[in-house]
Structure 1
Amino acid sequence: MGVLRLLLALSVVASHIGPIFGFQMTGGSLAVQSFFMISGFYMSLILNEKYIGINSSFKLFITNRLLKIYPLYFSVLILSLLVCLIVGFTSADHDIPVFNLYEATKPNGLTWAYLITTNIIIWGQDIVMFMGISPQNGALYLTGNFWNTSPALYNFLFIPQGWSLALELTFYLCAPYLLRKRTSWILTVVMLSLLIRIVTFYSLSLQNDPWTYRFFPCELMFFLLGAISYRIYTEYRDIKIPTYAGLILQTSIIVITIAFALLPQFPIQAFHFQVRDVLYLFLILISMPFLFIFTKNYRFDSKIGELSYTVYLVHLLVAKLLYTFGPELLKTPAFIALISILLSFFLNLAIAVPIERQRQKRIKKIDVAQVGVL
């Protein structure tokens, strides 16, 4: 599923920077929620097939997940700090991006502590989207719509898209206790998550971002739908998918993902989801088992997929650099996407690959396909 994962990362790039070669793809929110489903699938896979027996400890699972997330995050965080400093020192007014907000807003002590801590540890970056900062005293306050605050608190984050990683990390804490349960139990939690979404959206009229997109109790259902997809996979894991059928499936998903914004819309929606959004998520749900069966032995597909996380991390950094120092010809979404992919390749080579070797050495008796993505 590596190509799909990279396309979803590029969908986020397109939502932030602009259409890539004219294609907006799925948009950012749908791409991230699709990622949550894919994460639920993979976490179910490894918790039920890899972290078992002598490898079943929570400590081993969670530390290996942290080793997957943090080294690349810290690397991009350091690069982001350096780029902000370079942009500031080379500008005429020496105005340093992000740092200038801290100086202008003058956060109080607790606000400073929270923002610095969450920039480092990731946890709490999702909560940033539910708060604002008072220009009078620099204190944080809760808000139902962060878009109505000025300056919006996410601007104080050096990797503002890191909020989704905070949800991912929270899911990792829950995963060992959720994903080894019976399917009926997982479906019950899905329904509870859906109920929370119904209450927040319809009863409390919280119908705007971040409630529709970043509130973990509501987003949990997407992770768990990925777990349900894994349960479907276990029923069909031994089937052999003909090459032509696998290629048709993969090509269809690629085309639908790229051309998603061109699909027709209907005047019907559930919550903030359009009909085509729901159909796309359902497509991901039912196709993941068979797409995984078809691609799990293709190392190249796995390598492509490994770029997705890093592309997600670096694309705003690359955009800032090119917008500041690049010629007009290169200030395009397509070129930003290309440079993001190239930078991701080298970061993975220098950082992720050596750490991945150490991660896998910590596991005994591994016998699961596509270990690199797990």
Structure 2
Amino acid sequence: MFLDSLPFVTVLRNSVVDAGVRRSFSSSYPKKTNQKQEATLSFPRSGPIRKSLCVCLSPSAIPPVMTEGKKQPFDANEAPSLVKELKESFRTGRTRSYEWRVSQLKGIEKMVEEREKDISEALYKDLSKPEFEAFVSEIAAVKSSCEEALKELKQWMKPEKAKTSMTAYPSSAEIVSEPLGAVLVISTWNYPFLLSIDPVIGAIAAGNAVVLKPSEIAPVTSSLLSELFEEYLDSSAVRVVEGAVPETAALLEQKWDKIFYTGSPRVGRIVMTAAAKHLTPVVLELGGKCPVVVDSDVDLQVTARRIIAGKWQLNNGQACISVDYIIATKDFAPKLIDALRNGIEEFFGADPMESKYISRIKDRSNHILGCS
């Protein structure tokens, strides 16, 4: 990075996993403080994992969580018939009506309300995600999305008046939002509930039939989603397909009316290439880099706490808005490192591996390479 060569800048790097999350979060500090709240923070996208910060600040020191879950194999040869069934269901017009959309959104609301404990337990088994973090960052966010969709749905479905030119006088015009058809949602593992349900809510609210392909890297949540969708939603128009690369590849070979993918840029290119063959529009929510710029005039303790909250308290760094590296002046960097050390102990104890308040790095492939 070119900043390393500048005499007045020090770049501190710690671990983060390429993922995709688009929500901000709030977190409470372990202790109240009356100190002034000044710090320069920047939260763009996260990106490839990288590490050169001291080991005591590294969440990679925490062992990966062991996951369990029974996969339900999907026959890749059934992909064409699956898409055909959903498109036939869409052509009947059932998904277009306001009543159907509301019934499905209320089904998701009921699902989250009645099965909140099961969802929280699945997230713990997949990521050791603490119950409070699971609620705030995933379950509550899904509830909020459902409430918003139900509140705004009538307005979203109303035609929008459009101006016409003098040459079209005395005609009138309006813009009518039409459902696209059959939509494919491919979600990621770091927020396996939120990032699966949120795009599905959008697809249903728009009147589409939808297939969700959850991440196989979060198998317990994936299996639970398959069970919940079958129980609470209209299976003629809303489906879950479990599986890994072969199943995803089979789905991508089909002609969809839209694809929504959350994950890495590498796989995003594969998705876009597959979609281009059919001129299918795509939404790609990919990773990037996420710096924090720290000025030497900031309140050191408040800044350190905010960085810790934005890094380790947010799924242990496995989030696209998580802090990826720190830019600070060379003379200020040692003070900041000491403040981070003290803050991490305050948040998670002397041994974070024993803490109940921090998620675990998912698996060995997501650990930092080259740690000393």
Q: Same fold by TM-score, threshold 0.5 exceeded?
A: no
Q: Which of these two proteins has the greater Rg computed from alpha carbons? A: 2
**Greater share of helix residues, 1 or 2?**
1
TM-score by length of 2: 0.23
**Greater share of strand residues, 1 or 2?**
2
